[in-house]
Amino acid sequence: MHESELIQSILDGNQQDFKLLIKKYETNVFRAAIGFLHNKQDAEEITQDVFVKVYQSLSSFKGKAAFSTWLYRITVNTSLNYLRKKKRRGFWIGLSDLLQIPSKDKQTETIITERSEKIIIQHAIDKLPEKQRLAFVLSRYEELPQRQVAEIMKITEGAVEQLILRAKSNLKKKFEKELEWP
Amino acid sequence: MTSKKDIHQLIEDLIQKERNTEANPFLSTRIMAAIEKKNFSEVKQVSPVWKTAVVAFSLVAAVFSGVAAGSLYQTKNTTPDVVVMNDDRMENFVFYNEIGNE
C-alpha cells in the first residue's frame, strides 16, 4: 500500500494500519532520539510519544512535505522538549557516572576510561548550540542527506553544511578541553 | 588515554555504537497499546469546560436550596413558656446556713 493510501486508511478509522506506519519508521525515530538522548529507555519513550502525537495529529498532515520530514520534525521537537525537562537530572546522573570510584584493576581502568570518553563525547554533543546539534544528529545518526536536513530545519543546504562543520569543530574543541590536551 | 588524532574516530565509534542500539522488538505493540489507552481515556474524559460548568451549577444550586429551605421555615407566635412555681413548700436553705443551728 502506498504511503498516502496508508495515511488515508488510518484517517478513515483503520487504526490497525497505523502499526504498518510504525513498523516502517520506528527505527528512524528511535535512532534520531538516541542521538539526542544517548539512552535506550529514553529513546523508546520518545519514540512512543512521537507516534502517539503523529496518530493524534495525522489529520493535520497536509502532504506539502514528505511524511518522513514531518515525522522527523515531531521527533526533534519531542526530543528537545524532553531534554529541556530532564536537563538538571541528567547533569547529576552524568556526574555520578564520572565520579565512580576507580579500581586499580587494568581492565576496569580501561572500561572507566572508555566510559568517561563516552560521557565526555555525549556531553560535548549535548552542549552544542541547538541548531548545530540538530544538524549533526540528523546527518550523523540518521545519515540523512543535507537536503532533507535542510527541509526538516527549514534552512538552506549551505546553512546545514556550515552547521555540521561548526559542530564538528566545536566537538573537537570541547573534547580536547575536557581531557586537557595541549 | 586516547591520542589526539583519534578524536574524530572516537566520535564516529560512539555514534556507530549508539546507532547499533536496537529498540525493544515489542515497541510497536507498546505504542499501539498506548494509543488505544489514550483513545479510551479520551472517550471517558469529560471536557474541562463541562467540569467547571457542573461545579458552578452545583454551587449555585446549593446556595439557592439553602436560601429556599431557610425561607420555608416560619416561626409560630406561641405564648412564651412561663414556669409557675409555688415556692411555699420549698425548703428554706437559709435555715441550715445559720451558725447556731449547726
Whether A146 is covered by a domain: the verdict is yes
DSSP A142: S
How close does chain A come to B15, measured CA to CA in Å?
A: 6
Length of chain B: 102
A93 belongs to a structural domain: no
- Quote the Cα angle for A44-A137-A122, to 5°: 75
Q: In this predicted model, what pLDDT tens digit does every residue of B81-90 receive, in sequence order?
A: 666 777 776 6
A182/A113 same-domain check:
yes
Question: Does any CB of chain A come closer than 8 Å to the CB of residue B5?
Answer: no
For residue A93, give the nearest of A42, A34, A47 by alpha carbon: A42
**pLDDT value of position A123:** 85
Hey, are the CB atoms on A172 and B7 less than 8 Å from each other? yes
Whether B31 has its CB under 8 Å from any CB of chain A: the answer is yes
The ipTM of this complex is: 0.77
Q: Looking at the 3D structure of chain A, how many domains does it have? A: 2
A30 contacts on B by Cβ (under 8 Å): 23, 27
In a domain, A11, yes or no: yes
Q: Are A138 and B27 in contact (CB under 8 A)?
A: no
Question: How far apart, in whole angstroms, are the C-alpha atoms of residue A35 and residue A61?
Answer: 25
DSSP state, residue B83:
-
Is residue B101 over pLDDT 60? Answer: no
Measured in angstroms, the CA of A52 and the nearest CA of chain B are apart by 6
Top pLDDT among B78 and A104 is at B78
Nine-digit cell at A101? 570510584
Only one residue has cell 496508508, namely: A6
Would you list which residues of chain A are within 8 Å, Cβ to Cβ, of chain B? 15, 18-19, 22-23, 26-27, 30-31, 34-35, 38, 40, 43-44, 47-48, 51-52, 55-56, 113, 117-118, 121-122, 140-141, 168, 171-172, 175-176, 179, 181
Residues A123 and A182 in one domain: yes
User: What pLDDT, on the 0 to 100 scale, is given for residue A53?
Assistant: 95
Tell me if A47 and B14 make a contact (CB, 8 A cut-off).
no
Contact criterion met (CB below 8 Å) for A122 and A115: no
pTM: 0.69
Residues A43 and A120 reside in one and the same domain = no
| B83 touching A (Cβ < 8 Å) | no
Judging by beta carbons within 10 Å of its beta carbon (0-12, 13-18, 19+), is residue A95 exposed, middle or buried? exposed
Instruction: Show residues of chain A in contact with B18, CB under 8 Å.
Output: 34-35, 38, 141
Domain that holds residue A169: 100-182
Q: Which residue of A has its CA nearest to B35?
A: A52
3-state helix, strand, coil in chain B (%, to 5): 70, 0, 30
State the average pLDDT over residues B21-43. Answer: 85
Nearest to A118 among B14, B21, B34 (CB): B14
Rounded Cα distance between B61 and A72, Å, is 52
| Chain A residues near residue B3 by CB distance under 8 angstroms | none
Domain with residue A46: its CATH number is: 1.10.1740.10
Q: Which three cell numbers stand for residue A34?
A: 538516541
Task: Report chain B residues whose CB lies below 8 A from the CB of A19.
Answer: 28, 32
What pLDDT does B54 receive? 92
Nearest-angstrom CA–CA distance, A157 and A144: 12
Which of A86, A115, A147 delimits the end of a domain? A86
Residues A81 and A142 in one domain: no
Residues A2 and A82 both lie in one domain: yes
Which residue in A has a C-alpha nearest to residue B1's C-alpha? A113
Supply the pLDDT for residue A87: 72
Per-residue pLDDT of chain A (182 residues; tens, 9 = 90+): 788 889 999 999 888 899 999 999 999 999 999 999 999 999 999 999 999 999 999 999 988 889 999 999 999 999 999 988 877 665 555 555 555 545 455 565 666 566 677 888 888 888 899 999 999 999 999 999 999 999 999 999 999 999 999 999 998 888 777 766 54
Residues A127, A68: one domain?
no
pLDDT at A101: 47
Q: Which of these, A81, A83, A39, A68, lies nearest to A138 by C-alpha position? A: A68
Identify which of A55, A59, A10 has the alpha carbon closest to the alpha carbon of residue B39: A55
